Amino acid sequence: MSTFIVALLVVAVVLAITLLWKNREDFSEGSLEPEPEDTRVPPLLRGINYLLSDKPDQALQEMVQVAKIRSESAEVYMALGEMFRSQGEYGRAVRIHQNILARPEIAADLHFQAYVSLGQDFQAGGLLDRALKHYAKALAIRPEHLPSLYACLRIREQSHEWDEAEWLVSRLEQIENTSYHEHRAYLKAEMAKSALEHGELALCESLSLEGLKLSANCTHAHLLRIILLIRETKYDDALAQATLFLQQVKMEHHALLPETMMANDTFYQEHGETFLFEAWKQRHDVEVGVRWVENLAKIYGIETAKILKDKLALKDLSLRHELRLAALDEVDTNLVKQAKYWRLSMKLFACKHCGVQVHDVRWHCPKCNRWGSMEPMQSSQVFEEEQHVQ
């Protein structure tokens, strides 16, 4: 018997005992004549029998009948819907919550809960437009309902609808009387990135500056502005922005600079390489050096990367860094093969809040939904499972 059926059986048994006990109390405390038998009990007992026979569909029909007979059973109906959703039975959860909304006699509070539950059902099932529709109906009843606002924010961000997401963040700031400036700064940076991809350079500049005004240490906005200035051949301004980047953003994010400085071959050859060498002299960050070598190998080839590696005189490398560099080699050895295989799946970034690890750089944590919390992993952050070479 599946976990879901067991859970449903427990709910049904508890409800049956409750109804039978209530009938008994009504008889003992009331008149000499017992009240008519609760009409919910027979279908409930039939539902239990179906569950014991491993027939969940028929059991569900009987449980639905229980909820339809008396309006106060709607709470039980809601509980069933939550149980279906927790088991991945999104279609069944939707049907249950829609049936609740179809009942005009239920309390307004339960009506509101049904809208929220439908939003959760559709969101869990990946039908984001329909989820937003029902969250909107819930918010029309309770405009300051934080769970619905946060759910809408997650959907808007997941769908890359940055303007709508920023409006929701502003709304949350008003309700909670707090500041989400860094969150909004990263949303502005995402808008700037979209503008840059569409060739709207003036808009990209405006949005990236707005992001930096909201949060001076917004890594994404800094890097976008450097790329924009390089594209506009404003090389002196790009170098000034790179200097500001090193001064204002957290050191863990400095490892992201080499790739940005290679956004344009002419800029890198004439200015970027010298700038990175000067930055390397000031702070011999192994992660910066290794990522610089990796990006150079990707763009200019392994031989150029080897020359850089020798110039940097990388030392005191962790096993993790040694394997990353070994994966760049073209020598056909077993170690290189294993390192290349490992490098394809290794995690390079980790969230400083929840610890989730991902392969590529992200500004938004996929687990805890924080912005700006993903950082290049240092050797001290590496979990034991990440050091295992397949």
Domain for residue 65, yes or no? Answer: no
What pLDDT digit, counting tens, does each position of 3-43 carry? 555 555 555 555 555 555 454 544 444 444 444 444 555 66
Residue 25 has a pLDDT of: 45
Q: What is the mean pLDDT of the chain?
A: 81
For 287, the token pair is 């992660």
Beta bridge partners of residue 357, listed in sequence order: 350
- How confident is the model over 37-59, as pLDDT tens digits? 445 556 656 666 665 666 666 66
Confidence of residue 2 (pLDDT cuts 50, 70, 90): low
Query: Does the residue 205 lie in any domain?
Result: no
**What DSSP designation does 371 have?**
B
Query: Is there a domain that residue 378 lies in?
Result: yes
As a whole-number percent, the residues of the chain with pLDDT over 90 amount to: 44
Exposed, middle or buried: residue 214 (CB in 10 Å: 0-12, 13-18, 19+)? buried
262: its two tokens: 């290679």
Tell me if 267 is assigned to some domain: no
pTM: 0.76
Q: Phi/psi of residue 85, each to 5°?
A: -65, -40
Contact 192, 227 (CB under 8 A): no
Least confident window among 20-24, 277-281, 361-365:
20-24
Q: Which domain holds residue 384?
A: 347-390
In the predicted structure, residue 381 carries a pLDDT above the cut 50: no
List, for residues 95-139, the tens digit of each pLDDT value. Answer: 888 877 877 777 788 889 989 999 999 999 999 999 999 999 999
Q: What is the pLDDT of residue 53?
A: 65
Q: Let me know how many helices (H) and strands (E) the chain has, helices first.
A: 20, 3
pLDDT single digits (tens) 166-206: 999 999 999 999 999 999 999 999 999 999 999 999 999 99
Number of domains observed in the structure of the chain: 1
Domain membership flag for residue 357: yes
Tell me what pLDDT residue 17 has.
54
- Residue 88 belongs to some domain of the structure: no
Residue 360 lies in a domain: yes
Domain membership of residue 382 (yes or no) is: yes
Q: Which residue has the higher pLDDT, 11 or 61?
A: 61
